[in-house]
Structure 1
Amino acid sequence: MAARKKGGLGKGIDALISPTVKKEADKEKVVEKVIEKPVEKIVEKIVEVEKPVELYLKIDEIEPNRLQPRKNFDEDALQELSESIKQFGLIQPIVVKKQENYYEIVAGERRWRAARIAGLKEVPVIVKEYNERESMEIAIVENLQREDLNPIEEAQAYRRLIEEFGLKQDEAAQRVSKSRTAVTNAMRLLKLDERVQQMVIDDMISGGHARTLLAIENKEEQYAMAMLVFDNKMSVRETEKLVRNHLKKEEEKKISEKKEDFSQMETIYHQLEERMKSVIGSKVAIHSRNYKKGKIEIEYYSNDELERIIDLIESIKQVG
Structure 2
Amino acid sequence: MAKATKKQALGRGLSALLKDPDHDIKSVEDKNADKLVGHIVELDLTSIEMNPFQPRTSFNEESLRELASSIRELGVIQPITVRKLDFNKYQLVSGERRYRASGLIGLETIPAYIRIANDQESLEMALVENIQRQDLDPIEIAISYQRLLDEINLTQEQLSDRIGKNRSTIANYLRLLKLDPIIQTGMRDGFVTMGHGRALINIENTQIQLDIYEKILEKSLSVRETEKLVRELNGVESKEKTTSKEKPLPQNLKKGIKEFSDYLGAKVDIKVAQKGKGKLIIPFTSEEDFQRIKKLIQGEN
- Residues 146 and 97 from structure 1, CA distance in 2 versus in 1: closer, same or farther, beyond 3 angstroms? closer
Quote the offset at 1:136 in angstroms.
3.0
Quote the offset at 1:207 in angstroms.
0.5
- Residues 96 and 133 from structure 1, CA distance in 2 versus in 1: closer, same or farther, beyond 3 angstroms? same
Letter aligned with residue 88 of structure 1: L
Q: After superposition, what is the alpha-carbon deviation per residue over 1:264-316, rounded to whole angstroms, capped at 9, x for unaligned?
A: xxxxxxxxxxxxxxxxxxxxxxxxxxxxxxxxxxxxxxxxxxxxxxxxxxxxx
Question: Retained in 2: the 8 A contact 1:140–1:176?
Answer: no
More strand as a share of residues: 1
Mapped pair 1:143 → 2:136: no
Question: Retained in 1: the 8 A contact 2:131–2:144?
Answer: no
| 2:195 match: secondary structure | helix
Aligned counterpart for 1:174 among listed residues 151, 161, 170: 161
Query: Residues of 1 paired with 2:164 and 2:158: CA distance?
Result: 10
Question: Retained in 1: the 8 A contact 2:80–2:94?
Answer: yes
| 2:136 match: secondary structure | coil
Q: After superposition, what is the alpha-carbon deviation per residue over 1:102-132, rounded to whole angstroms, capped at 9, x for unaligned?
A: 3111111111011111211111112111233
Query: Residues of 2 paired with 1:133 and 1:94: CA distance?
Result: 19
Letter aligned with residue 70 of structure 1: R
Unmatched runs of 5 consecutive residues or more in structure 2: 1-5, 15-33, 240-301
Mapped pair 1:78 → 2:85: no
Mapped pair 1:55 → 2:71: no
Mapped pair 1:128 → 2:142: no
Count of equivalent residues: 211
Letter aligned with residue 246 of structure 1: L
Quote the offset at 1:178 in angstroms.
1.4
Query: Residues of 2 paired with 1:166 and 1:204: CA distance?
Result: 33
Letter aligned with residue 241 of structure 1: K
- Residues 146 and 181 from structure 1, CA distance in 2 versus in 1: closer, same or farther, beyond 3 angstroms? same
Query: Residues of 1 paired with 2:220 and 2:125: CA distance?
Result: 36
Query: Residues of 1 paired with 2:47 and 2:92: CA distance?
Result: 10
Q: Which has the higher contact order (CA 8 A, sep 6+)?
A: 2
Mapped pair 1:191 → 2:181: no
Higher-Rg structure is: 1
Quote the offset at 1:85 in angstroms.
0.9
Question: Retained in 1: the 8 A contact 2:124–2:152?
Answer: no
Quote the offset at 1:93 in angstroms.
1.5
Matched with 1:64 is 50
Deviation >4 Å, runs of 4+: none
Letter aligned with residue 62 of structure 1: I
Query: Residues of 2 paired with 1:144 and 1:236: CA distance?
Result: 24
Query: Residues of 1 paired with 2:76 and 2:65: CA distance?
Result: 14
Query: Residues of 1 paired with 2:69 and 2:99: CA distance?
Result: 13
Query: Which aligned pairs between 1:203-214 and structure 2 lie closer than 5 A?
Result: 203-214=190-201
Query: Residues of 2 paired with 1:201 and 1:156: CA distance?
Result: 12
| 2:67 match: secondary structure | helix
Question: Retained in 2: the 8 A contact 1:53–1:127?
Answer: yes
Q: After superposition, what is the alpha-carbon deviation per residue over 1:223-258, rounded to whole angstroms, capped at 9, x for unaligned?
A: 221121022111100111111122239x99xxxxxx
Letter aligned with residue 192 of structure 1: L
Letter aligned with residue 74 of structure 2: F
Matched with 1:226 is 213
Matched with 1:89 is 75
The RMSD of aligned alpha carbons is: 2.8
Question: Retained in 1: the 8 A contact 2:48–2:91?
Answer: yes
* TM-score normalised per structure 1: 0.60
Quote the offset at 1:147 in angstroms.
4.9
Matched with 1:116 is 103
Q: After superposition, what is the alpha-carbon deviation per residue over 1:10-63, rounded to whole angstroms, capped at 9, x for unaligned?
A: xxxxxxxxx9xx98x98xxxxxxxxxxxxxxxxxxxxxx867322222212212
Letter aligned with residue 238 of structure 1: E
Query: Residues of 1 paired with 2:119 and 2:90: CA distance?
Result: 14
Question: Retained in 2: the 8 A contact 1:212–1:240?
Answer: yes
| 1:99 match: secondary structure | strand
Query: Residues of 2 paired with 1:137 and 1:177: CA distance?
Result: 15
Query: Residues of 2 paired with 1:188 and 1:83: CA distance?
Result: 38
Matched with 2:258 is none
Q: After superposition, what is the alpha-carbon deviation per residue over 1:187-217, rounded to whole angstroms, capped at 9, x for unaligned?
A: 0000111111111111110000001000111
Unmatched runs of 5 consecutive residues or more in structure 1: 1-18, 27-48, 253-320
Question: Retained in 1: the 8 A contact 2:53–2:127?
Answer: no
Give the % identical residues: 40
